[in-house]
Chain A
């Protein structure tokens, strides 16, 4: 029982890392990884949102949208609302993100300023929608989807902090002027994802 969850957790953090194995959440991954400190803040925010939204969307899907979920209403046993799935998933995510945004603005204005437009953009961070879609696609139970959401968030945080650490070191190397900043980061991420490909046995 416990081993199963531990396995799922390591899988979500390393071999099936959302950022480096599925290439989800790339925009904030590249834009917020300039400093380790802000990268850590972003990683924590994403972890929180994923841990909340994965189980929530799981409940929503299985109790409202899936075929037959409305069977308790007389005559509605055949209703299949799954075409509305994206709208519902995004709704939950956007509401959670908005709460996180309001909280960070109150608690840490400095982090709020550093995250800038990328804080509201967590809502459209594909990693988060991807996480919810994966929990539904792979038929996780409620407990499993919580573990998976948490693990994926940690995996994203690990990856973005690692990238930020590399970029901080890169500052002292002699990168060609036109490649400096974004260009070299793309190449670094490319090389990092080769490493993660190896983890899944390519």
Chain B
């Protein structure tokens, strides 16, 4: 049974989310979610790399020898990341400064590689394109949700706009330093998964008792 194009595009948003269900791309989800603006820039960069890597790999899929496919896939992804990095440095220097190391992290974002390996290698370019867009959006949903919570409680702002005035600026809110540390990222993604599966019980895991 082949999934329809609509399903390929929209499923990764909530029904088959790359972070919450496929367990892909978590490292960067922890690293860049302290502020919404950084998270958003990261999502755009990932979308770009995903789309072009899926297209390229899917177009080349019959020519890539299976034994060295990892090397080929990574070369494609790495070249795209280097291009993204150079473009950001040339045209969007502010964003590039803010993202700095994280652009390099896209290479090791297992979501890009994971989708290349499990989808683009087996499907033609157009469905692969839809799959890439869908998964990037699913990734963005989680990143932006987690980043909003962390920025709101860690700094009293959302997207740089003051929501809860800090004590240091004469307001009443004492920022919660915990939100700035990575354990908070784990706990929040855990809670996100909890909410998602409470809403979509089909994703719940069966009791695993021998």
Residues on A lying within 8 angstroms of B by beta carbon are 23-28, 30-31, 34, 83, 86-87, 90-91, 93-95, 97-98, 101-102, 117, 120-121, 123-126, 129-130, 171-172, 176-187, 189-191, 193-194, 197
Interface centre among A23, A130, A172, A185 (most CB of B within 10 A): A23
When the two chains form their complex, are residues B118 and A126 in contact, meaning their CB atoms are under 8 A apart? no
When the two chains form their complex, are residues B107 and A86 in contact, meaning their CB atoms are under 8 A apart? yes
Interface centre among A27, A83, A86 (most CB of B within 10 A): A27
- A30: chain B residues at CB < 8 Å are 23, 26
Task: Kindly provide the distance from the CB of B204 to the nearest chain A CB, expressed in whole angstroms.
Answer: 5
Residue among A86, A101, A193 making CB contact with B182, cutoff 8 Å: A193
When the two chains form their complex, are residues B181 and A189 in contact, meaning their CB atoms are under 8 A apart? no
When the two chains form their complex, are residues A129 and B108 in contact, meaning their CB atoms are under 8 A apart? yes
With contact pairs A26-B30, A98-B70, A120-B70 given, residues A87 and B110 touching in the complex (Cβ less than 8 Å): no
In the complex the two chains form, what is the Cα distance from A31 to B27 in whole Å? 13
Tell me if B71 counts as interface (CB < 8 A to partner A): yes
With contact pairs A27-B27, A31-B23, A177-B204 given, residues A126 and B71 touching in the complex (Cβ less than 8 Å): no
With contact pairs A30-B23, A124-B107, A125-B110 given, residues A179 and B194 touching in the complex (Cβ less than 8 Å): yes
Tell me if B141 counts as interface (CB < 8 A to partner A): no
- B67: chain A residues at CB < 8 Å are 98, 102
Task: Kindly provide the distance from the CB of B40 to the nearest chain A CB, expressed in whole angstroms.
Answer: 20
In the complex the two chains form, what is the Cα distance from A94 to B117 in whole Å? 13
B side interface size, CB within 8 A: 53
- A172: chain B residues at CB < 8 Å are 209
In the complex the two chains form, what is the Cα distance from A26 to B190 in whole Å? 13
With contact pairs A86-B81, A194-B183, A197-B181 given, residues A179 and B197 touching in the complex (Cβ less than 8 Å): yes
When the two chains form their complex, are residues B25 and A27 in contact, meaning their CB atoms are under 8 A apart? yes
B101-128 CB contacts (< 8 Å) to partner A: 104-105, 107-110, 112-114, 117-118
Tell me if B187 counts as interface (CB < 8 A to partner A): yes
- B181: chain A residues at CB < 8 Å are 197
| 26 A-B residue pairs with CB within 8 Å | A23-B31, A23-B185, A26-B27, A27-B26, A27-B27, A30-B26, A86-B104, A120-B70, A121-B110, A123-B70, A123-B74, A124-B74, A124-B107, A126-B27, A126-B108, A176-B194, A178-B196, A180-B207, A182-B193, A182-B205, A183-B194, A183-B197, A184-B190, A186-B186, A190-B185, A190-B186
When the two chains form their complex, are residues B197 and A178 in contact, meaning their CB atoms are under 8 A apart? yes
When the two chains form their complex, are residues B109 and A193 in contact, meaning their CB atoms are under 8 A apart? no
Interface centre among B78, B117, B195 (most CB of A within 10 A): B78
Tell me if B179 counts as interface (CB < 8 A to partner A): no
Residue among A98, A184, A194 making CB contact with B68, cutoff 8 Å: A98
Tell me if B95 counts as interface (CB < 8 A to partner A): no
In the complex the two chains form, what is the Cα distance from A190 to B146 in whole Å? 14
Task: Kindly provide the distance from the CB of A122 to the nearest chain B CB, expressed in whole angstroms.
Answer: 9
- B201: chain A residues at CB < 8 Å are 177-178
When the two chains form their complex, are residues B204 and A186 in contact, meaning their CB atoms are under 8 A apart? no
The 4 residue pairs across chains A and B that have the minimum distance between CB atoms: A186-B190, A190-B186, A181-B205, A126-B108
When the two chains form their complex, are residues A87 and B205 in contact, meaning their CB atoms are under 8 A apart? no
Q: Interface digits, B152-189 against A, CB 8 Å rule (1 contact, 0 not)?
A: 00000000000000000000000000000111111101
- B207: chain A residues at CB < 8 Å are 171, 180
Tell me if B94 counts as interface (CB < 8 A to partner A): no
Tell me if B20 counts as interface (CB < 8 A to partner A): yes
Tell me if B93 counts as interface (CB < 8 A to partner A): no
When the two chains form their complex, are residues B74 and A94 in contact, meaning their CB atoms are under 8 A apart? yes
Task: Kindly provide the distance from the CB of B22 to the nearest chain A CB, expressed in whole angstroms.
Answer: 9
In the complex the two chains form, what is the Cα distance from A184 to B149 in whole Å? 19
In the complex the two chains form, what is the Cα distance from A23 to B201 in whole Å? 29
Closest to A97 in B: B70
Task: Kindly provide the distance from the CB of A164 to the nearest chain B CB, expressed in whole angstroms.
Answer: 13
